[in-house]
Amino acid sequence: MDFSLLLKHYDLLLTGAKLTVVMTVGAITLGVILGTLLGLMRIARLSILRAVSGVYLQIFRGTPMLLQIAFLYFALPPIFGSGIWKNPFIPDAALAGIVALGLNSGAYIAEIIRSGIQGVDIGQTEAARALGLSHLQTMQLVIMPQAFRRVIPPLCNEFIVLLKDTSLVSAIGAKELMYQARAMGAKYYEYFVFMVGAAIIYFCLTFVLTQISNYIERRLAVSD
């Protein structure tokens, strides 16, 4: 085992880590937007909205994420055109991975949002309506601020899981951290060395996210 190879090719691993972070941020952004919308649909008064969100959640929570990534990258181009993932800013495989991860994460974030909203005491809603607030005003001014505080810890955990799940996108050729480690391992027949290097970087990234999550939770606890 030649660990000097890590020092020789650390730049490739860091380049892969940079793409990993970009993919994580993109997927988190998409997941939060989509998850919030779906979470509100889950508790909507219209049954059609509840049904649509329920079907979405069943599909994305009931199928493997790797299958979803491969489906978007390989199955959609023949239908919508080969340039569907082409763009000047990010590799096409990485973009497909961001969309797939975001769509999958949105299904889980939807349940987090739903449980956060429903976890707010019903008396809060009744008091707000008694004061003359509309349903929309009640959600905006009373329910959502309280729900937001409740969902921060599970959301942070979802973000950490999502960062690690970006490694699955290496299966379609996105040159993120896992891809780079595997490529270097194959080149030098030193898989152990480069996998250890990738593991260290993943640990550092998740450690930073964990510390941020803990800080936010402490701040919320103090403000209570």
Q: What angle do CA 112, 155, 105 make, to 5 degrees?
A: 75
Whether pLDDT at 93 is above 60: yes
pTM: 0.89
Collect all residues with Cβ–Cβ distance below 8 Å to 24 and sequence separation of at least 6. Answer: 159, 162, 163, 166
Superfamily of domain 4-223: MetI-like (1.10.3720.10)
Residue-wise pLDDT tens digits, 56-75:
999 999 999 999 999 999 99
Listed by start position, the domains of the chain span 4-223
Residue 120 has a pLDDT of: 81
Whether pLDDT at 97 is above 80: yes
- Phi, psi for residue 217 in degrees, rounded to 5: -65, -40
Residue 224 has a pLDDT of: 57
Residue-wise pLDDT tens digits, 194-208:
999 999 999 999 999
Contact 33, 110 (CB under 8 A): no
Q: What's the CA gap between 168 and 95, in Å, rounded?
A: 13
